[in-house]
């Protein structure tokens, strides 16, 4: 089958890494999984053999067809679709009662940041998400305030999930090997924080980190004034990377409502 490098097709071939991902995920019989980018089925097969129900979203028609042929299973449905556009909420109602959908994927790296933002928007619909990412993106996703990698992705994730790095994976685990190291991360959506104004939160975080070297008062010029920043309990002289998710959420509630 022809490989399409532009689609981030690096297939997992190392059996011990596949086993480690499956052990970390611990799929249960009857649980519903969305699998993003199943490729040749390195993870699909083990999920099915543990009794899971798999809704696989694959963009490459040849791989989607190959998957149907390799795993002619009533517990597998293959959706030929772009994971960025896919309507995950359409699958939410089919889970067993009290058990939300789970998500797994060795994500295509050209798209991983955009996909993560998309998945984080729908996070409440998932019980958990276990994803393989390039290590640098995984570090940004899990970074705490004040650290070098802390940014828009970290804050967006922290507002909706607990993000846990699980283990690193060397390039040799894939065929062909990617140029970078990878890392498996588990995201567990929770409702610790209430996001009362999602649009304002998104705007404030995006603008704060678009000029991360400036003070927060300067970075947010035109969006929030010093009084609003102070009212949210933030020192206007600090920088975006020093501000935690709770403070960003408070600030989003102090912004003027759009006219
Ligand atoms: N899960 C397989 C494995 O671990 O061997 C394949 C992983 S490979 C890194 C990424 C997969 O995502 C490929 O099968 C690729 O065709 C698919 N893919 C790329 N872009 C996609 C998109 N926008 N939507 C859905 N699948 C996509």
Interval between CA 77 and ligand 1 midpoint (Å): 16
CB 114, CB 138: distance < 8 Å: no
CB 103, CB 31: distance < 8 Å: no
With a 6 Å cutoff on the Cβ, whether 43 touches ligand 1 is yes
Question: Positive or negative CA dihedral for 52, 187, 4, 91?
Answer: positive
More confident residue, 59 or 89: 59
Interval between CA 101 and ligand 1 midpoint (Å): 20
How far, in Å, CA of 64 to CA of 71, rounded?
A: 11
How far, in Å, CA of 62 to CA of 96, rounded?
A: 31
| pLDDT at res. 91 | 79
Please, what is the average pLDDT of the chain? Answer: 93
| pLDDT at res. 26 | 97
Q: What is the pTM of this model?
A: 0.94
pLDDT at 251 exceeding the cut of 70: yes
Q: Residue 82 CA: which ligand 1 atom is closest? A: 24
Over residues 226-238, the pLDDT tens digits come to 999 999 999 999 9
Over residues 184-204, the pLDDT tens digits come to 999 999 989 999 999 999 999
| pLDDT at res. 90 | 80
Whole-number Cα distances in Å, 154 to 51, 139, 141, 240, 245: 34, 9, 5, 12, 9
Q: Residue 9 CA: which ligand 1 atom is closest? A: 8
Q: Is 12 exposed, middle or buried (0-12, 13-18, 19+ CB in 10 A)?
A: buried
89-93, 121-125, 140-144, 230-234: the lowest-pLDDT one: 89-93
With a 6 Å cutoff on the Cβ, whether 9 touches ligand 1 is yes
Give the residues across from 129 on adjacent strands: 103, 187
| pLDDT at res. 6 | 82
| pLDDT at res. 215 | 97
With a 6 Å cutoff on the Cβ, whether 80 touches ligand 1 is no
With a 6 Å cutoff on the Cβ, whether 238 touches ligand 1 is no
With a 6 Å cutoff on the Cβ, whether 154 touches ligand 1 is no
């Amino acid at each position: 089958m022809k490989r399409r490098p532009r689609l981030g097709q690096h297939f997992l071939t190392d059996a011990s890494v596949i086993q480690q991902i499956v052990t970390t995920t611990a799929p249960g019989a009857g649980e519903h999984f969305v699998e993003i980018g199943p490729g040749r089925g390195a993870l699909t097969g083990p999920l099915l053999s543990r009794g899971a129900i798999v809704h696989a979203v694959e963009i490459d028609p040849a791989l989607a067809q190959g998957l149907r042929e390799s795993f002619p299973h009533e517990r597998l449905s293959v959706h030929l679709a772009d994971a960025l556009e896919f309507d995950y909420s359409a699958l939410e109602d089919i889970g067993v009662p009290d058990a939300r959908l789970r998500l797994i994927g060795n994500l295509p790296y050209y798209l991983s940041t955009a996909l993560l933002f998309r998945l984080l928007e729908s996070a409440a619909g998932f019980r958990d998400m276990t994803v393989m990412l390039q290590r640098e993106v995984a570090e940004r996703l899990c970074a705490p305030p004040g650290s070098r990698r802390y940014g828009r992705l970290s804050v967006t994730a922290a507002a909706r999930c607990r993000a846990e790095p699980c283990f690193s994976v060397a390039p040799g685990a894939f065929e062909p090997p990617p140029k970078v190291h990878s890392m498996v991360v588990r995201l567990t959506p929770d409702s610790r924080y209430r996001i009362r104004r999602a649009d304002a939160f998104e705007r404030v975080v995006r603008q704060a980190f678009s000029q991360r070297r400036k003070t927060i008062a300067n970075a947010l010029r035109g969006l929030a004034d010093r009084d609003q920043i102070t009212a949210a309990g933030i020192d206007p002289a600090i920088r975006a990377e020093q501000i935690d998710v709770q403070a960003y959420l408070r600030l989003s509630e102090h912004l003027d409502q759009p006219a």
